[in-house]
Structure 1
Amino acid sequence: MDRAYWEEVWREEDLGFHQSQVNRHLQRFWSRLKLAPEARVLVPLCGKSLDMSWLLSEGHDVIGVDFSRKAQEDFLATRQEAVRYSQQKDLYLAYQGALLFVAGDVFHLRQEMLRSVDAVYDRAALVALPPATRQNYAFFLAQCLRPGAQILLVTRQAPEERLSPPFNISAEEVDRLYGTNFRIERLQREERGDGVIEEVYLMKRKTPKAFGRLPGDACEARQASS
């Protein structure tokens, strides 16, 4: 992923992707995952999204990940709780109540963080990745998430393809990226007034058919090669 691009986005505060309200798809469909309140949720490329505050209010432990330390600082400043910081190589970790906000590359997350994840909420990650990186991202999630872990994915298709995020993601691409390792259910297809089509998917990690290496082992190998 282009770290320099995202650092410039936050430095220039070019934050057109930031929503001023909690995402309506999250509020409408989150209950379909049937998670326990204490379930742990990963929010990749989270920015300073209000969606994380909503997930925390539902009782979840939340792991937010973003390249930008400014995103980390801005979000933490909105919450009136003490923060404890630590660093693991190039990852800057901030613990605040039930929140762990990691500033760094999602591909560098430690495997024990991801093995404990029950669900992923992805409104801003897949649509932010260029085509060459999407396959790596989908494979990384498949290898690091335990069987039964779920993903709530929100995608978009604009009338004209963009040269910068958010990118168009078709239903065919979702199936190509995730179909081998996840059961996919499309929950909604909605065309907005501006012509943008938003689709919402619920995906569940399949049990791998091959025996031997566990998903986390492959995750560890992927991190070691990064």
Structure 2
Amino acid sequence: MNPDFWLERWQRGETGWHRDEINRHLCEFWPQLGLPTGTRVLVPLCGKTTDLLWLASRGDRVLGVELSQLAVDAFFAENGLNPTVTQVSGFSRYRVDEIEVLCGDFFDLPAALLDDIGAVYDRAALIALPPDLRLRYAAHLDTLLPARVPHLLITLEYDQALRSGPPFSVHTQEIAQLFGQRYRLSVLAQLDVLDESPGWRQQGLTELVERVYRLDPDMVLA
């Protein structure tokens, strides 16, 4: 899966992962992280999610990273925002108030642009990637954020034999393999959401589990 796959999906308007509403798990569980006002939050592969607006409304400083310029332009246009656009480290940087979006390939992101990140919110980044890229994603995050910061991570689990991703099925065991040596993992919620995705049921799925994780750096084993 190369970057053109996602760029073409945005160009064709095939963006079934996008939701107009604020994510319910973000609203419920983000405050539990107990982050100080003004925390800078990394949102990888952010698309045009309005979750960025919710985070900024709380006083967080938001840094989204998105490959598609169509998605970035749509986010600001659809929300009536007029960003300042500059170039930095090969990325187009869009800025308005507490929201900043870097347009470019996440895997090209340099650590110098994330030196004060205090938390990560991942609703649709990890599950957008096939297994080999999930390994690369976790390793790149580790390089970008060596100090470790809290994460709120949302995944899906289903029978991958019945449906090829994306979004991909990512099981708890894999989350532990990717992050467990560096973070303490807590499952905050587990819901069967198949009734909310009738198209997936038509593809033969009998279960679709949405799971919410908190990744905490405060009890990391050496």
TM-score scaled to structure 2, two decimals?
A: 0.88
TM-score scaled to structure 1, two decimals?
A: 0.86
Counterpart Cα distance in 2 of 1:170 and 1:60? 30
| Equivalent runs, 1:53-92 vs 2, <5 Å | 53-92=53-92
Match of 2:212 in 1: 200
Match of 1:132 in 2: 132
- Segments of 5+ residues of structure 2 without an aligned counterpart are 196-206
Counterpart Cα distance in 1 of 2:166 and 2:69? 20
Match of 2:164 in 1: 163
1:81-113 Cα shifts (integer Å, max 9, x gaps):
432111235311111111111111112223132
Counterpart Cα distance in 2 of 1:61 and 1:106? 19
Aligned residues: 210
Counterpart Cα distance in 2 of 1:148 and 1:55? 20
Q: 1:107 to 1:160 in 2, by over 3 A?
A: closer
Alignment identity in percent? 36
The question of whether the paired residues in 2 share the 8 Å contact of 1:115 and 1:146 is answered with no
* 1:122 partnered with 2:122: yes
1:9-31 Cα shifts (integer Å, max 9, x gaps):
10001011011211111111001
Given residue 151 of structure 2, which amino acid in structure 1 is its aligned partner?
Answer: I
Q: 1:27 to 1:106 in 2, by over 3 A?
A: same
Pick which of 5-14 and 110-119 moved more. 110-119
Given residue 180 of structure 1, which amino acid in structure 2 is its aligned partner?
Answer: Q
* 1:17 partnered with 2:17: yes
Match of 2:173 in 1: 172
Match of 1:218 in 2: none
Pick which of 29-38 and 78-87 moved more. 78-87
* 1:141 partnered with 2:153: no
Deviation at 1:164, TM superposition (A): 2.8
Counterpart Cα distance in 2 of 1:126 and 1:15? 16
The question of whether the paired residues in 1 share the 8 Å contact of 2:183 and 2:215 is answered with yes
* 1:38 partnered with 2:50: no
Deviation at 1:147, TM superposition (A): 2.9
- Segments of 5+ residues of structure 1 without an aligned counterpart are 211-226
Pick which of 113-122 and 84-93 moved more. 84-93
Counterpart Cα distance in 1 of 2:33 and 2:41? 11
Deviation at 1:70, TM superposition (A): 0.5
Q: 1:48 to 1:85 in 2, by over 3 A?
A: same
Counterpart Cα distance in 2 of 1:159 and 1:170? 10
Match of 1:187 in 2: 188
Deviation at 1:77, TM superposition (A): 1.0
Given residue 11 of structure 2, which amino acid in structure 1 is its aligned partner?
Answer: R
3-state secondary structure, aligned to 1:102: strand
1:22-49 Cα shifts (integer Å, max 9, x gaps):
1111111001110112000011111000
